Structure 1
Amino acid sequence: MEPGALRVVIMDAKDMSTGDVKPYVIVRVGDKEYKTKHSHKTATPEWNESFTFSASPAAQPRLHAWIYDHKTLGKDKLLGSAEIDLWRHLQHGAGVSSADVHAELREGQGKLRLRLEFDPEAISPTRSRSSFQSTERPPVSSPSRFSLSRRRGADRDD
């Protein structure tokens, strides 16, 4: 069976914990993995970030998601994980199929809400922006504060 485009929208999570956390999600389908931006301190984060994978009912039956608490110093803490049987929620062979999924988190508490869309006609999917306001960052890194200070000094007309 030929692969199509699987669009995964990481929407939000709720009932995760009682403390303030800065959560982010890592989502994997097959050998491709993407990461959302981390939310600001909240137990009910909203991401609304979209990622597109190449998927086939025969090759990638599951989606894996992990929610971590972002730590500025030290190792990020796992808040929970979920494994979703994609083809239990999506119809293959019937054109474009979509489903809203509420995944119960393991190794923690709470639920992760996702939107899955499979288009068997689409080819060569790439990471895409959501029709919601995506918070993806461009791959170009920002300059260091040292290069900015040199640039400011070079702009002066002394």
Structure 2
Amino acid sequence: MRSNAQAVRLRYILACIDHPRDFALQLELLETLDGSRTILTPQLDLELAILMHQRNRHHEASRRFQRLRHLWARGEHYVEVPDRLRWLYDESTGRRRQVRARIASGGDGARLHATVHELQNNRVPFRIAEFDGPKLRPGTNMSGLISFGHNGPLLRPLTAG
């Protein structure tokens, strides 16, 4: 069954329906497709990147998101983050995972970046306006949640969504 790409794709779809939080199985199935001669659609490539984050493979996920952002820049692609993958979850509790971050230097005014400990210190953007409290400066520690969009992870306040 694993050698037949259509069967693997169908199994992935069914796994997403029957076991929406079984990220290990979903990742295994998408990696099987990715490792075969099948070219993943942008939608499946996006889901693969998010699943890598869900399974603590953050550096690989970041590289995949970087490739996806280049793809988005070259042309129009319709993709959507499924609800089951909208947030970074804690595997043991099944709840959204609270993360610790430190504001990094730089930014474009509307968005800054923070290094997120739980994402292997990857830099993640956040919207200043979403976070209350004192002026956010480089080096400031903060807690938050991670949501996923088509461009990758976004640091959100604990009160988000």
TM-score (norm 1): 0.23
Larger fraction in strand: 1
Instruction: Flag the structure with larger Rg.
Output: 1
Larger RCO (CA within 8 A; separation ≥ 6): 1
